[in-house]
Amino acid sequence: MTTGGQAPPSGSSAGSFGYRDRHSGHHSWGLAAVASPVGHTEVRSSSSAAQFSHTAGLGATAATVDSAHRRQPEGALDGRSAAMAQHVTVPVVRARKGGVPLVMITAYDAPGARITSDAGADVILVGDSLGMVVLGYEDTLQVTLADMVHHTAAVARARPDALVVADLPWLTYHLSPEETVRNAAELIRAGAQAVKLEGGVARVPMVEALTRAEIPVMGHIGLTPQSVHVMGGYKVQGRHADAAAALVADGAALAGAGCFAIVLEGIPAEVARVVTESVSVPTIGIGAGPWCDGQVLVFHDLLGLEDRVLPRFVRRYGALKADAVSAIRSYADDVRARRFPSDDESYHAAGEVTAALSPPLAGPASRLA
Ligand code: KIV
């Protein structure tokens, strides 16, 4: 994997593919360095797109303090800065552009939210990857708004320090700006602080309507899993120069319409770099290389709860599926061998209760009488 500094590619002034973020005046860079077409690569993971995910940290200057959410006194942060234990807000995320990379992880329930937030994630995404990693569907298209509301509420009840962003599922933001706002409001009422939607230029009216309704929006371009049938599978996007240029235009359009951050999924690192340098808001990558302003991974992929596939963009930091299988096997062995529960793991009745329940001593003499 390519790594390197943040200097723009040489000869990168906005050329034929130049775009300007209308809010920031940020230029995009030319696309001369975009890799030549090499054919599509299947990148499907456990979660369709979930397939890909990440987290963020807090710049001290950007952080705001909400003492109601401060869980640990300063000095008890186990190596993390005090700022990292503060409640993360949309302005905090936006201010992280070009700073310490943002960390975003998906979560779908209260324990997942507590684990993710306690680990210092900046953003929890209640992703529609829910459909694949939790609900057992083949793709994300089966996920309903009711599913998302149910799981967003579970995440929010954990009161995480991380910002909670909820995915708008397929067909909840495609028909009209009005319907989009109404559907997004359900997620906000369930406890999300922002919503995410997939797509570029075509979504500008919806992003503008949400922004006008005071609902912060995260964009998502590149490999957009809700478009699986249009893409013909979970394939890396933006490999050709025209497709790469379209992604740059999509990024600029979303940022211009008011998105506070943009997920870049399943695109070449070089293209993600150009998009990142073209917009004034943070980009959060998944399968999009190292130059994004943050990274996102799916909870089940990162922890090895999902072990059936290992896409290139996933790094496993745990083997929880294997650990869980082994733990449950040990429990089953103990039950079958009557090693569980032990005396200490059992409740005991008082002596007189035990005596009252005991059958009378049935020796031969009493039987004769
Ligand atoms: O649904 C999801 O989990 C996502 C991330 C992979 C970005 O959209």
Structural domain containing residue 360: 335-368
Q: Is the pLDDT of residue 348 over 50?
A: yes
Q: Ligand 1, residue 51: give the atom nearest the CA.
A: 6
Q: Give 140 Cα–ligand 1 centroid separation in angstroms.
A: 10
Task: Tell me if 149 CB under 6 Å of ligand 1.
Answer: no
Q: Is the pLDDT of residue 22 over 80?
A: no
Name the closest-CA residue to atom 7, ligand 1: 53
Q: Which of 43-47, 86-90, 234-238, 245-249 has the lowest mean pLDDT?
A: 43-47
Task: Tell me if 263 CB under 6 Å of ligand 1.
Answer: yes
* pLDDT, average across residues 6-24: 32
Q: Is the pLDDT of residue 221 over 60?
A: yes
The answer for residues whose C-beta is within 8 angstroms of residue 128's C-beta and 6 or more apart is: 140, 143, 148, 167, 169, 170, 225, 226
What pLDDT is recorded for position 50? 40
* pLDDT, average across residues 152-179: 98
* pLDDT, average across residues 123-148: 98
Q: Ligand 1, residue 265: give the atom nearest the CA.
A: 7
Confidence of residue 367 (pLDDT cuts 50, 70, 90): very low
Are 96 and 174 within one domain?
yes
Task: Tell me if 128 CB under 6 Å of ligand 1.
Answer: yes
Q: Which of 71-85, 104-118, 302-316 has the lowest mean pLDDT?
A: 71-85
Task: Tell me if 298 CB under 6 Å of ligand 1.
Answer: yes
Judge whether 21 lies within some domain. no
Over the stretch 116-126, which tens digit does the pLDDT of each residue have?
Answer: 999 999 999 99
User: In whole angstroms, what is the distance from residue 64 CA to residue 256 CA?
Assistant: 25
What pLDDT is recorded for position 362? 54
Task: Tell me if 301 CB under 6 Å of ligand 1.
Answer: no
Are 317 and 188 within one domain?
yes
* pLDDT, average across residues 282-297: 98
Q: Give 65 Cα–ligand 1 centroid separation in angstroms.
A: 28
Number of structural domains (the chain) is: 2
Judge whether 329 lies within some domain. no
Confidence of residue 36 (pLDDT cuts 50, 70, 90): very low
Are 178 and 82 within one domain?
yes
Name the residue of 44, 55, 106, 143 to mutate for ligand 1: max ligand atoms within 8 A of Cβ: 106
Q: Ligand 1, residue 284: give the atom nearest the CA.
A: 7
Over the stretch 85-105, which tens digit does the pLDDT of each residue have?
Answer: 589 999 999 999 999 999 999
pTM of this prediction? 0.79
Q: Which of 102-106, 124-128, 302-306, 355-359 has the lowest mean pLDDT?
A: 355-359
Confidence of residue 43 (pLDDT cuts 50, 70, 90): low
Are 242 and 268 within one domain?
yes
Confidence of residue 358 (pLDDT cuts 50, 70, 90): confident
What pLDDT is recorded for position 85? 58
Q: Is the pLDDT of residue 59 over 80?
A: no
Are 54 and 183 within one domain?
yes
Are 61 and 169 within one domain?
yes
Judge whether 105 lies within some domain. yes
Judge whether 63 lies within some domain. yes
Are 231 and 347 within one domain?
no
Task: Tell me if 86 CB under 6 Å of ligand 1.
Answer: no
Name the closest-CA residue to atom 4, ligand 1: 127
Are 317 and 344 within one domain?
no
Are 255 and 164 within one domain?
yes
Confidence of residue 16 (pLDDT cuts 50, 70, 90): very low
* pLDDT, average across residues 302-312: 94
CATH number at residue 88: 3.20.20.60
Q: Please give the C-alpha separations between residue 170 and each of 224, 270, 290, in angstroms, as whole numbers.
A: 11, 29, 28
* pLDDT, average across residues 57-65: 31
If one compares 161 and 1, the residue with the highest pLDDT of the two is 161
Judge whether 255 lies within some domain. yes
Q: Is the pLDDT of residue 80 over 60?
A: no
What pLDDT is recorded for position 360? 63
Q: Give 288 Cα–ligand 1 centroid separation in angstroms.
A: 13
In 88-222, beta strands by DSSP E: 102-106, 123-126, 163-167, 194-196, 217-222
* pLDDT, average across residues 123-149: 98
* pLDDT, average across residues 112-139: 98
Q: Give 129 Cα–ligand 1 centroid separation in angstroms.
A: 6
Q: Ligand 1, residue 128: give the atom nearest the CA.
A: 1
What are phi and psi for residue 213, nearest 5 degrees?
-90, 10
Are 271 and 345 within one domain?
no
- Range list of H helices, 145-261: 145-157, 177-189, 204-212, 228-231, 241-257
Judge whether 6 lies within some domain. no
Task: Tell me if 295 CB under 6 Å of ligand 1.
Answer: no
CB atoms within 10 A of CB 248: 27
Active site residue 214: no
With a pLDDT cut of 70, the percent of the chain lying above it is 74
Q: Are 358 and 349 in contact (CB under 8 A)?
A: no
Query: Residue 286 pairs with which residues in a beta bridge?
Result: 265
If one compares 262 and 23, the residue with the highest pLDDT of the two is 262
Task: Tell me if 106 CB under 6 Å of ligand 1.
Answer: yes
Q: Ligand 1, residue 140: give the atom nearest the CA.
A: 1
Are 74 and 182 within one domain?
yes
Nearest to 126 by CA among 161, 86, 168: 168
What pLDDT is recorded for position 86? 82
Q: Please give the C-alpha separations between residue 39 and each of 36, 239, 314, in angstroms, as whole numbers.
A: 9, 8, 21
Q: Is the pLDDT of residue 259 over 90?
A: yes
Judge whether 340 lies within some domain. yes
Q: Is the pLDDT of residue 281 over 70?
A: yes
Q: Is the pLDDT of residue 62 over 50?
A: no
Are 249 and 360 within one domain?
no
What pLDDT is recorded for position 359? 74
Q: Which residue in 265, 270, 277, 306 is the catalytic one?
A: 265
Judge whether 251 lies within some domain. yes
